[in-house]
Chain A
């Protein structure tokens, strides 16, 4: 079996693929569970269950294991009742079930301070930031990238500068954007745009440049002119790859979210995470991070699903049924071909 799994570039059966995908999530979860529920593995802390005669210890308190042991020895030496406790992990590593519970309770946790947001409000703010940042960036970046890919002159005029700006870290523009756009949603959107746009132009231009030149030549011999070469050949030929580029760039936009949200008035899911970390609700912190992961994964999967339907001609693995039908008729067509009467064109 392992031999078959490790054949170079060999397609897997559907069943094996599904099993491996599930394992991809179960394995990390398993490691996490092991560390959480079997304290012997790590457990550098002691959770106090009984304080004994030590006045400053309270049940539920976490304490370093070695310090706790020293304290127990000391109390016994003094002839008092020693405190009791069990091995535990540090507070920043909550157990899976705690995080699982927090996935629900985080939504029901009341904001502590006035001005704090509920989790769902934070998430909605984040999604809006990403959405507008990405839409604005794409509205300019994609057409510009296509022009760069189509015309060497525009590429020479644009790309050196874009390449230069690309290396400036987007967060460095934070203070500037606040000065220009104020402190609310706008500067955050601007950071996402800055982070995405310049990469986008280069990536899109490269994808368009990869279109087979033979298609352009064929179109030219069919009478296509400049405008048609761009709109009727380059654009549709690169569309599936552009779509995938945008999917990847959307992922990058999410990574810029974290820096964007601390600009000006902190907001969104990053702010929620920071607040919860301050209150040491690390289960909520994990829950929020997981939620970002879920949102990212589901949007990406949804976009992938839509993409396969948008570009049926790009399907590398056509269904077996379709393959069968095509082959069936291909063979018949060759047989039927010889006596096929030709229609004279008027």
Chain B
């Protein structure tokens, strides 16, 4: 702990970063979450999953949502996608209230959900065809997207023949091809191994820099949140409420070696404090003697 004590305050921003945030705030608001709440009917009365969530995301901003498990972050993104209904509050895209799923809010799921009977190109074409585009023009655009996400060589492969990272790149291309205003990503890299996840994060930032899209990204990985986000929405559980919205002071463009920079570490430590608060009670000893004794040899 002593080594991190000299870290700056996570709220301190360099002039460049501060200027960037000022610029972002001048941009129009693309997605507005307004006093959003969600209650589930439980066995013993209703359970509040989300309470009074407020968030305005500006154009081409990348916002991460992070929180302990069970804080309702998946529920939140499903409501934004229109796959779940809020019990209170409103959701606005470009100032217009929306309900139900629609192509203006594309989504990338943790489980890929690629259409297994379609090739990479055909998967990417799906959204374009739903919008009534002719097959030939949809195909040529889909092939460009496949190139963009580095799958040019696998255009005609079926999802079952792809690795996890390649599947998720196809899913990202499929969502982006439909030209959404907001790209919703629900722990998209959670199922990938650490190395691939790291590559995918850099890759996502590269795509995001080249495409006019606003991203709302759900994760439970602190490093991922700090590495990707402009702002981080920290939720707490029971009920799911906003704890804090952090403006990440790490300058862009982000590089993988920045994870050792003081800004990065300071932000990460703050997230750690919020999500894993220090318990006042030390953990109770394990009730099974055999288990506690087993520890002697390893330590």
What is A's interface to B at a CB cutoff of 8 Å?
Answer: 212, 214-215, 217-225, 228, 232-233, 236-237, 239, 311-315, 318, 322, 326, 329-330, 333-334, 336-337, 340, 342-345
| Given A223-B130, A228-B130, A333-B150, residue A218 in contact with residue B109 (CB < 8 A) | yes
Q: Are B113 and A217 in contact (CB under 8 A)?
A: yes
Q: Are A222 and B106 in contact (CB under 8 A)?
A: yes
The 8 tightest CB contacts between A and B, nearest first, are A223-B103, A222-B127, A220-B101, A218-B113, A223-B130, A313-B158, A221-B107, A214-B113
Q: Are A343 and B148 in contact (CB under 8 A)?
A: yes
How extensive is the interface on chain B, given as a class?
Answer: 35 or more
B147 within 8 A of A: yes
What is B's interface to A at a CB cutoff of 8 Å?
Answer: 81-83, 101-103, 105-107, 109, 111, 113-118, 126-127, 130-131, 144, 147-148, 150-151, 153-154, 157-163, 165-166, 174-175, 178, 184, 199, 203, 206-207, 210-211
Which single residue of chain B is at the shortest CB-CB distance from A219? B126
Tell which of A222, A340, A345 touches B150, judged by Cβ atoms closer than 8 Å. Answer: A340
Q: Given known contacts A342-B206, A345-B210, what 4 new A-B pairs fall within 8 Å (CB)?
A: A214-B113, A222-B130, A237-B117, A343-B210
How far, in Å, is B83 (CB) from chain A's closest CB? 5
Q: Are A313 and B199 in contact (CB under 8 A)?
A: no
Please, how many angstroms separate the alpha-carbon atoms of A148 and B161 in the complex?
32
The 24 sampled A-B contact pairs (Cβ below 8 Å) are: A217-B83, A217-B101, A218-B114, A221-B106, A221-B175, A225-B130, A232-B130, A237-B116, A311-B117, A312-B158, A313-B118, A313-B160, A314-B116, A315-B160, A318-B161, A326-B157, A333-B150, A333-B154, A334-B165, A336-B150, A342-B207, A343-B147, A343-B148, A344-B210
How far, in Å, is A159 (CB) from chain B's closest CB? 26
Please, how many angstroms separate the alpha-carbon atoms of A344 and B206 in the complex?
10
Please, how many angstroms separate the alpha-carbon atoms of A345 and B178 in the complex?
13
Please, how many angstroms separate the alpha-carbon atoms of A22 and B250 in the complex?
69
Q: Are A342 and B175 in contact (CB under 8 A)?
A: no
Tell which of B130, B154, B199 touches A337, judged by Cβ atoms closer than 8 Å. Answer: B199
Which single residue of chain A is at the shortest CB-CB distance from B101? A220
How far, in Å, is A237 (CB) from chain B's closest CB? 7
Q: Are B210 and A342 in contact (CB under 8 A)?
A: yes
Q: Are A217 and B178 in contact (CB under 8 A)?
A: no
Q: Which residues of A contact B101 (CB under 8 A)?
A: 217, 220-221
Q: Which residues of B contact A232 (CB under 8 A)?
A: 126, 130
Q: Are A222 and B103 in contact (CB under 8 A)?
A: yes
Q: Which residues of A contact B103 (CB under 8 A)?
A: 221-223
Q: Are A313 and B116 in contact (CB under 8 A)?
A: yes
| Given A214-B109, A237-B115, A337-B199, residue A223 in contact with residue B102 (CB < 8 A) | yes
Q: Are A313 and B117 in contact (CB under 8 A)?
A: yes
| Given A221-B103, A337-B150, A345-B210, residue A215 in contact with residue B130 (CB < 8 A) | no
Q: Are B175 and A334 in contact (CB under 8 A)?
A: no
Please, how many angstroms separate the alpha-carbon atoms of A312 and B206 in the complex?
34
Q: Which residues of A contact B211 (CB under 8 A)?
A: 345
Which single residue of chain B is at the shortest CB-CB distance from A218? B113
Please, how many angstroms separate the alpha-carbon atoms of A225 and B174 in the complex?
17
Q: Which residues of B contact A222 (CB under 8 A)?
A: 103, 106, 126-127, 130, 174-175, 178
Please, how many angstroms separate the alpha-carbon atoms of A318 and B158 in the complex?
11
How far, in Å, is B99 (CB) from chain A's closest CB? 13
Q: Are A223 and B178 in contact (CB under 8 A)?
A: yes
Q: Are A233 and B148 in contact (CB under 8 A)?
A: no
Please, how many angstroms separate the alpha-carbon atoms of A212 and B115 in the complex?
10
Please, how many angstroms separate the alpha-carbon atoms of A343 and B144 in the complex?
8
Q: Which residues of B contact A237 (CB under 8 A)?
A: 115-117
Which single residue of chain B is at the shortest CB-CB distance from A322? B161
Please, how many angstroms separate the alpha-carbon atoms of A333 and B106 in the complex?
26
Tell which of B81, B144, B148, B166 touches A330, judged by Cβ atoms closer than 8 Å. Answer: B166
Q: Which residues of A contact B113 (CB under 8 A)?
A: 212, 214-215, 217-218
Q: Are B116 and A221 in contact (CB under 8 A)?
A: no
Q: Which residues of A contact B114 (CB under 8 A)?
A: 218
Which single residue of chain B is at the shortest CB-CB distance from A222? B127
Please, how many angstroms separate the alpha-carbon atoms of A189 and B174 in the complex?
48
Please, how many angstroms separate the alpha-carbon atoms of A239 and B101 in the complex?
26
Q: Which residues of B contact A221 (CB under 8 A)?
A: 81-83, 101-103, 105-107, 175, 184
Please, how many angstroms separate the alpha-carbon atoms of A217 and B102 in the complex?
10
Please, how many angstroms separate the alpha-carbon atoms of A218 and B127 in the complex?
10
Q: Which residues of A contact B175 (CB under 8 A)?
A: 221-222
Please, how many angstroms separate the alpha-carbon atoms of A237 and B150 in the complex?
27
Q: Which residues of B contact A220 (CB under 8 A)?
A: 82-83, 101
Please, how many angstroms separate the alpha-carbon atoms of A340 and B150 in the complex?
7
Which single residue of chain A is at the shortest CB-CB distance from B105? A221
Max count, chain A CB within 10 A of own CB: residue among B111, B115, B154, B166:
B115
Q: Which residues of B contact A315 (CB under 8 A)?
A: 160
Q: Are A214 and B111 in contact (CB under 8 A)?
A: yes
Please, how many angstroms separate the alpha-carbon atoms of A330 and B131 in the complex?
32
Q: Are A334 and B117 in contact (CB under 8 A)?
A: no
Please, how many angstroms separate the alpha-carbon atoms of A221 and B162 in the complex?
23
Q: Are A239 and B117 in contact (CB under 8 A)?
A: yes
Q: Which residues of A contact B102 (CB under 8 A)?
A: 221, 223
Please, how many angstroms separate the alpha-carbon atoms of A224 and B147 in the complex?
25
Tell which of A228, A236, A326, A344 touches B115, judged by Cβ atoms closer than 8 Å. Answer: A236
Q: Which residues of B contact A344 (CB under 8 A)?
A: 210
Q: Which residues of A contact B107 (CB under 8 A)?
A: 217-218, 221
Tell which of A219, A224, A236, A326 touches B117, judged by Cβ atoms closer than 8 Å. Answer: A236
Please, how many angstroms separate the alpha-carbon atoms of A144 and B11 in the complex?
61
Q: Are A326 and B199 in contact (CB under 8 A)?
A: no
Which single residue of chain A is at the shortest CB-CB distance from B209? A342
Which single residue of chain B is at the shortest CB-CB distance from A228? B130
How far, in Å, is A232 (CB) from chain B's closest CB? 8
